[in-house]
Amino acid sequence: MNKLRLFKRLGIGVVLFLLLCVALLLLSRSRDFQLFGKLVSHIDTAVHVVALTFDDGPSAQYTPDVLATLARYQVKATFFVTGREASQHSAMTKAIVAAGHQLGNHSWSHPRLVFRSYAVIANEIEQTDAVIREAGYLGPIYFRPPYGKKLLLLPWYLKQHQRVTVTWNVEADSDLGADADTIAQRVISEVKPGSIVLLHVMYASREASRAALPSIIEGLRAKGYRLVTMAELLQDSQP
């Protein structure tokens, strides 16, 4: 009888542990919620504004083309750069700033910052902040977690330093097999007033996303959207 009770307790313990693991996994992946601090995945507005954001890089090979496209359409965007790449390609980082775009922090080396120590998290963020400031960027530096993953210590650090976490509610190029037309149509169809669009355009494997950029801009403008930086989007959300 005692063994039966023991097995029941063990079974309950295992179930509770698995439920906890699932809950933590869902929490770490949530685009709309974190335990501490401010998180923004979009803003609630009736105004047709949308923030175009790019992750990773900059890249000596691909950033100039992206900047040229944005300049041609007179669009300002937000680049969530990694500190290591921003340091390696400092001329490109400065070019982003000189063109009037916003820089965001996407960590130094793009690790999953879920089960990392407070010291590691601080180092990943602060090193990247320093590179962003060295590039001449003076505006607010928002943070985007690598892979969108966060749990306890990362949100706590960001709250302690009064930093805004930025995720997204439109991601059209997560499928590397998608072509440019598919990516563009996904963005155009999924965007709503106040959306934050995530695109990856900095690597050779992201040719389709770069090729989709003109169609995305033209399609959103045809629907009456104004493309803004994250700072402008958050300003629009203020009363």
Positions annotated as catalytic residues are 55, 200
Distance, in Å, from the CA atom of 232 to the CA atom of 53, rounded to the nearest integer, reads 12
Q: What is the DSSP string of 44-84?
A: --SS-EEEEEEES---TTTHHHHHHHHHHHT---EEEE-HH
111 cis-preceded (ω within 30 degrees of 0): no
CA distance 220 to 203: 24
Indicate if the alpha-carbon torsion angle 221, 199, 164, 20 is positive or negative.
positive
Burial 93-121 (b: 16+ CB within 10 A, else e): bbbbbeeebbbbbbbbebebbbebeeeeb
Q: For residue 40, what is the enclosing H or E element?
A: strand 38-40
Residue 102 DSSP one-character state? E
